[in-house]
Amino acid sequence: MNGAQALIRTLVDAGVDVCFANPGTSEMHFVAALDDVPDMRAVLTLFEGVATGAADGYARMAGRPAATLLHLGPGMANGLANLHNARRGRTPLVNVVGDHARSHKRLDAPLESDIDAVAGTVSGWVRRSLAPADVAADAAAAVAAATSSPGAIATLILPADVSWEDGAEVAEPAPARPAPRVAPSVVQDVADVLTSGEPVVLFLGGDAMTADGQLAAARVAAGTGARLMSETFPPRAARGAGMPDLTRLPYPPEMAIAALAGTKHLVLAGAEAPVHFFGYPDVPGHPVPEDCAVHVLSAPGEDSVAALRALAERAAPDAEPVLLETERPELPSGVLTPRSMAAVIGALLPERAIVVDEALTSGVGLMELTSGAPRHDWLALTGGAIGDGLPMALGAALACPDRPVIGIQADGSAMYTISALWSYAREQLDITTIVCDNGSYAILQHELERVGAASDGKRAGQLLDLGDPDLDFVALATGMGVPATRATTAEELADQLRRSLAEPGPHLIDAVLRR
């Protein structure tokens, strides 16, 4: 058995049976070995950023890692931005990065680069397999590192000859570190804070955003009067009817500051203390009031669900959580705006939908107008590196083939990884992509004002404008095998969304928003 065969079998045995691949020459034995290990599903992407973003979305929904197959340093580089997002979301993920044969490494061939340095910036675990006899154990260790709480990126660098040489054997799965339990004394301390009578915000993130975590938190809130809030961009959030009404900390600094104003105690469950995305002139770096004490119920990677349940038992043993009823917005009519787009989505969002949200500025109103839709899951852009939305939807759809996936995608960001659409078509996945087509980097127009950059000049404006020429997303999707339509009114969007949800396979709707 060669190294590649042992590697793939070991990954499958350890529960990693999907691989998003963008191979090159140094990965050809891995590719060949796929025919020997039919339990590994390999999904071709046309760009590594699609592979890594898909692995991110897959793991968020499947709860276990996918692998990527990347071609040397440049392949890793192309996948790096979405690995940044995965790192920020603490997504478990296993990269297999092919490298030159060991004997070739010292020759400084054209594709030689410092893979280890690049990998180290996003990975919690990096190892280079140095012999066929090691590669399977290395793969098992990679999966264990990726799946140990709270989840990390593990990068295994695989020299081509370690892949092609014989002498390898399959390795047993290695044990992963489970989420530690929070000590009862910590729970008691937080319970004391919650019953102090002072204004408390219970701030959720990570695994506290599961349905179980939120329901326990809602009991706490009902019994103590604490306000519930979540991090701005949780990796995965259970939402909809039957869940508590959970405010997200707003993205704009001034709104985040207002949302936390008056809070005396911020209790963190699975989340870090919030900071603003960017620094701005004359604005503090985070929204937590100066006289607010920050308490950690559970750090990321600790068992937040158990901690919240224990907290509810102590602080609010008899409380009934307040949960959202099913309440959909009316179907709007007329011109499409971000808000009417959100209303259409809220009115039609199917039960068990997976929403992949990279709407950015066009997402105004989206949270509010979908909060009473039937139960669904929501995946957000965790690290701010745009271009994760289309790939994440690919991964989510592969993880949950029986659930509808709806990608709400800003136009500028869509162009980063647009070839994800081709993989939707090849795999015939039930993904509806709604492009929020406002013809600009609207977020940057806001940011230009927010930083106080005193320019309304033409040359600056050209860098924030996606017109001249307009992008035709219908043509782009069609060119990659995804049926597409254009909606310019709320009625058209509703019709097209209904049709897309009723038909199998991928669809794209170019939602032209009033500019």
Residues 177-216 that bind a second copy (CB under 8 A): none
Residues 455-514 that bind a second copy (CB under 8 A): 455, 457-460, 462-464, 466, 468-476, 478-481
Smallest gap, in angstroms, from Cβ of residue 438 to a second copy?
15
- Asked whether the beta carbons of 268 and 297 are under 8 A apart, the reply is yes
**Contact call for residue 378 and a second copy (CB under 8 A):** no
C-alpha separations of 292 from 39, 236, 264 in Å: 52, 27, 4
Smallest gap, in angstroms, from Cβ of residue 190 to a second copy?
23
Smallest gap, in angstroms, from Cβ of residue 447 to a second copy?
4
Strand partners, 100: none
Q: Which two tokens stand for residue 479?
A: 């060119």
Selection from 90, 89, 91, 81 nearest residue 59 by Cα: 91
Of the residues 287, 383, 404, 407, which one makes contact with a second copy according to CB under 8 A: 383
What is the 8-class DSSP label of residue 503? S
Residues 107-136 that bind a second copy (CB under 8 A): 107-111, 113-114, 117-118, 120-122
Smallest gap, in angstroms, from Cβ of residue 288 to a second copy?
11
Smallest gap, in angstroms, from Cβ of residue 478 to a second copy?
5
Q: 79 or 346: whose CB is closer to a second copy?
A: 79
Q: 203 or 233: whose CB is closer to a second copy?
A: 233
Q: Which two tokens stand for residue 400?
A: 């949950």
Segment near a second copy (CB under 8 A), from 156-164, 201-209, 353-361, 488-496? 156-164
How far is Cα of residue 349 from the mean position of the Cα atoms in its chain? 20
Smallest gap, in angstroms, from Cβ of residue 460 to a second copy?
5
- Asked whether the beta carbons of 514 and 490 are under 8 A apart, the reply is no
Of the residues 242, 350, 384, 439, which one makes contact with a second copy according to CB under 8 A: 384
CB neighbour burial string for 132-161, b if at least 16 within 10 angstroms, e if fewer = bebbbbbbbbbbbbbbbbbbbbbbbbbbbb
Of the residues 1, 15, 17, 46, which one makes contact with a second copy according to CB under 8 A: 46
Q: Are strands 376-380 and 237-239 parallel, antiparallel or unpaired?
A: antiparallel
Contacts with a second copy by CB under 8 A: the residue count is: 101
Long-range CB contacts (< 8 A, 24+ apart) of 320-323? 320/219, 320/222, 321/215, 321/218, 321/219, 321/221, 321/222, 321/244, 322/218, 322/221, 322/222, 322/244, 322/245, 323/215, 323/218, 323/241, 323/242, 323/243, 323/244
**Contact call for residue 351 and a second copy (CB under 8 A):** no
**Contact call for residue 422 and a second copy (CB under 8 A):** yes
Residues 313-342 that bind a second copy (CB under 8 A): none
Residues 259-318 that bind a second copy (CB under 8 A): 272, 275-281, 285-286
Of the residues 137, 246, 418, 513, which one makes contact with a second copy according to CB under 8 A: 418
Of the residues 1, 15, 17, 104, which one makes contact with a second copy according to CB under 8 A: 104
Distance CA 370, CA 357 (A): 12
Q: Name the phi and psi angles at 19, rounded to 5.
A: -130, 120
* Residue 327: its H or E element: none
- Asked whether the beta carbons of 122 and 95 are under 8 A apart, the reply is no
Smallest gap, in angstroms, from Cβ of residue 486 to a second copy?
12
Q: 472 or 492: whose CB is closer to a second copy?
A: 472
The interaxial angle of helices 80-88 and 48-62, nearest 10 deg, is: 20
Segment near a second copy (CB under 8 A), from 57-65, 98-106, 188-196, 429-437? 98-106
Residues 3-22 that bind a second copy (CB under 8 A): 21
Please report the sign of the dihedral spanned by the C-alpha atoms of residue 259, residue 261, residue 263, residue 268. positive
Q: 8 or 179: whose CB is closer to a second copy?
A: 8
**Contact call for residue 167 and a second copy (CB under 8 A):** no
Segment near a second copy (CB under 8 A), from 57-65, 186-194, 390-398, 413-421? 413-421
Q: Which two tokens stand for residue 496?
A: 């097209």
Return the SS3 of 317: coil
Of the residues 209, 398, 412, 513, which one makes contact with a second copy according to CB under 8 A: 412
